[in-house]
Each structure stands twice: as C-alpha cells, then as structure tokens.
C-alpha cells in the first residue's frame, strides 16, 4: 500500500519506458504458444498519471489497449484502469514491495519482479479464483525513463 501520492508516483516511475514483451501461454487451448509485443509507459504532462499502452501479438491474434495508473487518496493505494480494443474495462489495484509487485484485477492477477538494474520485469498472470497460471511474461526495457 502506498501512503501518499509522492510515494506512489515514485513506485510507478519504475515502469516508465518502452518495454519489449515476450511470453508463453501456460493454460487453455493456446498452452505452450508464445507471444510478443510492446508495452509503453509514459507520464502525463503533469506527471500525476502513468499511461500504459500495449500492442501484443497473442496466439489468437493482435491485442491492444490502454491503461491508466494513478493514486487513490481515499483508499491510499495505486490503481490501474485498463481498456482493451474489444471495449473491456478492467479495474485493478497495484502493490509494490521491495522490487516485487502485484496487479490484482477481478479475474486475473500478476505477480512480478523488477531486476536490480531496472531493465527487466518477469512474472506470471494467474486466475484470481483458483490461482491457476495463465501466462508467463518477461519484459525488457530499452528506454528507461524511471524519473517522476
């Protein structure tokens, strides 16, 4: 849990940059199939929100969307609101703790870690209902912009 906006924004800054994403599906009809794409995290002009855009070639086809990260002062937590091209909205809460982070939505959650040099993120997406692994991902950042 972030206690204030400044702390939250500092934690979000670790995501800022352009990331090359690769991964493998771990369950379902696409199990074992790989995917790749690009994730970009950029600050808005006033650096109060972090905008995430993604474009990923998944086994079932191209997927893209946007996500907005910010700080909720009432709940004292980082939030993420994601929207994909099919019109799906996914609200999530985000927790950073010593290089590890969790993004928890209503159906899936991500558990990942950031490398010490800030250039790699690795982790898994799992189902919230029964903790079944859905996909394994790795992101490599070429353009670090980790300043608030």
| pLDDT tens for the chain, residues 1 to 148 | 567 888 888 899 999 999 999 999 999 999 999 999 999 999 999 999 999 999 999 999 999 999 999 999 999 999 999 999 999 999 999 999 888 999 999 999 999 999 998 899 999 999 999 999 999 999 999 876 665 5
What is the pTM (predicted TM-score) of this model? 0.91
Nearest to 143 by CA among 119, 111, 108, 126: 119
Which two tokens mark 87? 């019109």
Rg (C-alpha) for the chain, rounded Å, is 15
| CATH code of the domain covering residue 100 | 2.40.128.20
Range of 123's domain? 5-144
Q: Give the pLDDT of residue 21.
A: 98
Report the pLDDT value the prediction gives residue 79, as an integer from 0 to 100: 97
Confidence at residue 147, expressed as pLDDT on a 0 to 100 scale: 59
Distances (CA, A) of 89 to 66, 68, 86, 92: 10, 11, 9, 10
Work out the widest C-alpha separation in the chain, in whole angstroms: 43
Q: For tokens 């010490």, name the residue.
A: 116
What is the domain count for the chain?
1
């Amino acid at each position: 849990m972030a206690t204030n906006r400044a702390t939250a924004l500092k934690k979000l800054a670790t995501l800022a940059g352009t990331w090359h994403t690769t991964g493998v599906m771990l369950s379902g009809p696409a199990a074992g199939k790989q995917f790749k794409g690009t994730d970009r995290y950029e600050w808005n002009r006033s650096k109060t929100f972090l905008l995430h855009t993604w474009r990923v070639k998944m086994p079932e086809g191209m997927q893209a969307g946007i996500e907005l990260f910010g700080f909720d002062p009432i709940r004292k937590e980082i939030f993420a609101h994601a929207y994909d091209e099919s019109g799906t909205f996914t609200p999530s809460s985000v927790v950073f703790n010593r290089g590890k982070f969790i993004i928890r939505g209503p159906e899936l959650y991500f558990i990942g870690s950031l490398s010490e040099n800030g250039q790699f993120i690795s982790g898994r997406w799992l189902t919230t209902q029964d903790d079944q692994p859905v996909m394994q991902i790795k992101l490599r950042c070429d353009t670090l912009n980790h300043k608030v």
